[in-house]
Every structure is written in structure tokens, then in C-alpha cells.
Structure 1
Amino acid sequence: MTQSFLSRRACLALMAAAVALPGRAVASGFREITWADLIPAGVPYGEIIGLGQIDEVNDTWNPEYDANGKKVNTRLNGKAVKLPGFMIPFDVTSAGVTTFMLVPYVGACIHTPPPPPNQLVFVTTARPWPGDRMWDPVWVYGRLSAQSLTTQIADVGYRMTAQKIEVYEW
């Protein structure tokens, strides 16, 4: 009968791999999606069909979209995804941004009418994103929820709790 023992070096290497693996598993366990993926297959992009309402208190225009703008891709519900976009901050502390809307292009919801609800993601994060980086394009990693929400800026079709946020570099 032979006994095999791991060398001390092999044990240390295994322990180091076990510690490093969860971080890599988090990054690799996310499916990269695009904004087009948030629209169900076969559904055209939502269009503004009516004037909507002017919110004089918040000085915003809440447009009225056709039914396509409110249709969400339920196949992504509960999926771990990675989505690029820009932040529209809601809650900012001295540590940084903790709640924001992820939007597909710069200025969405602020300088132009908001995109349709199925093109907006409401994000919360336990780790604040630094305030001096909030205008950078970002990748947001998290579990997507096809759950609507009305905010002071727009109706939103998705929610996500960010597990990781990083600068988008191209």
C-alpha cells in the first residue's frame, strides 16, 4: 500500500488557488449582454407615441411610450450579467455613488427624453462607486431582475444589485 502526501509547496499552491478562485469565478460567471438584449426577441424598439406629462416640480418630461417600450426580456430575469453603460446618480455619499440608473448613452434622462423603460436599469451597490469616477462609462456585474420601477427621472424596466463595477475601457 502506498501513501501519497502533498508537499508543503503543493498545499500552499492549492490554498492560494482556493482563495483566488472566488474572485475569478465572479468575473467569469457573468454573461456579457448588450442593450439590445434587454428588448425581447422580435419586439421593435419602443417609440414615444404621446406628449406624456410634464413634471413641473422636477422640471422633467415623462414621455408616453408604445407597448414595446415596456416589454422586458424575462429570459434574463435572475441571470448573472455584465452590462456596459453610464451612471445617472441617485444617492451619493462621501464614499461615492450607491444608487444609480444605468443608461445606454451619455445624457440619457437628463438632456434628452429618457429611453424606453426596457432600456433602463436601476442599480444599487453595497460598495460605493467613487464620486470622481461617476461620469466614466462602466461595466456593471450583477443579477438582473425584470422588475419595473418608477423613479423621479423615468420608468425603469430592470433592477440590479451590483456585485462589481469597473471602468469600461475600449
Structure 2
Amino acid sequence: MITLNRRQFALTGASSLLMPAAARAATYQEITWDDLVPPGVPYAEVIGEGEMDEQADTWRPIFDENGVKLNDALNGQQIKMPGYITPLEVTSDGMTEFLLVPYLGACIHVPPPPPNQLVFVNTDTPWPGDDIWDAIWIYGTLQTQLQTTDLAEIGYALTADKIELYEW
């Protein structure tokens, strides 16, 4: 067993303040899309019925209660997860708001995934607008937060600390 006197303890604590911020930064829990579904809810049961909107020529999903159940254990957790971008707010510098979606083209060419499979992301550092077709890693604090946009109902929100291309 190692024992420290008060002076050694104080110096040890003070020296940790001198470490680079990256070394002191919180670690991110890597999660998958399956993790967004609460424990006990089969992933295969998050999609509900739907109906065809003949006038708009689109399929409109109707999610059952499993599609809007969120994993509250992830609320406030620092996470890292992969996904694709569906842009919402684009400036000349890039995207500052987007949906993180589980597959390419979700919410654009096909009906949206259920709310517990969508993450609303905002970032202070715009992501380049020409990188929307590439998979990314997103890092940040996840919040369980049901909200509705013109594109879809969304179950989670995240303010991005870091975004990077997904390396295959």
C-alpha cells in the first residue's frame, strides 16, 4: 500500500492541473445505434406501421411506443458514435446543425428512422458541407430529448465536442 504525506498529496493533485487539457478530458463511451434503444426493447420492434401519402408520393411511418422509447441511462453521458449526416443548418462555413442518422440517405430519400434512432447535433465548429456522404464519428454529451422538425421526430440531442471522419 502506498501512503503519501500531505505535501506529496498536494503536489500530486497540483501536478494533475498542469497536464494538457486533452489528457484531463473525459473519456467518451463508444456506443452503437442499438444502444439508443432501451434495454428490454428488441431492436427489431422499433419500427411501426405506416401509410402511403398518395398526394406527396411518400411513405409516412407511424411509430408504435417502442419507436419513441429512449435509453434514459445514456442521458448526460459523454459518448462517441458513428453515423451519417442529414444537414439542417448550413452556412458558408459548413453545417452547424444536422441529424446524425444510422444509414446514408435516411430522412432524405426514404422515410425517417424512428425517433430513438435519430440524434439532433449542433456544433460551434461547422462541419464542411462537402463531407455529407462520408460516415463520421461524433463526440459529445448525449441528451434524451424528444423533438419534432420538418424532417422527423427526433429522440436525442448532442452538442458536438469533436467530429471526425470515420476510418474504415
TM-score category, normalised to shorter length? 0.7 to 0.9
The C-alpha deviation readout for 1:101-144, integer Å capped at 9, x for no partner, is: 00001111111111110000000000000112222110010000
Question: What stretches of structure 1 of length at least 5 have no aligned partner?
Answer: 1-13
Contact 1:33 1:83 in 2 (8 A): yes
1:3 aligns with: none
- Gap change, CA 1:89 and 1:36, over 3 Å in 2: same
Instruction: Give, in angstroms, the shift of residue 52 of structure 1.
Output: 7.4
CA distance in 2, matches of 1:109, 1:25: 37
- Counterpart selection for 1:164 from 162, 165, 168: 162
- Separation in 1 of the partners of 2:54 and 2:31? 33
Determine the structure 2 residue equivalent to 1:31: 29
Structure 2: gaps of 5 or more residues = 1-14
How many pairs are equivalent? 152
* Deviation by residue 1:69-108 (Cα, 9 ceiling, x = unmatched): 0000000000000010000001111110000000001111
How many percent of aligned residue pairs carry the same amino acid? 53
TM-score scaled by structure 1?
A: 0.81
Q: Which amino acid aligns with 2:71?
A: N
Paired residue type of 2:51: L
Residue 41 to residue 142, structure 1, CA distance change in 2 (3 Å): same
Question: How many angstroms apart in 2 are the aligned matches of 1:151 and 1:141?
Answer: 23
SS of the residue corresponding to residue 110 of structure 1 reads coil
The aligned residue for residue 128 of structure 1 is 126
1:104 aligned partner? 102
- Using the size of structure 2 for normalisation, the TM-score is 0.82
Secondary structure, in 3 states, of the residue corresponding to 2:22?
helix
Asked if 2 retains the 8 angstrom alpha-carbon contact of 1:69 and 1:116, the reply is yes
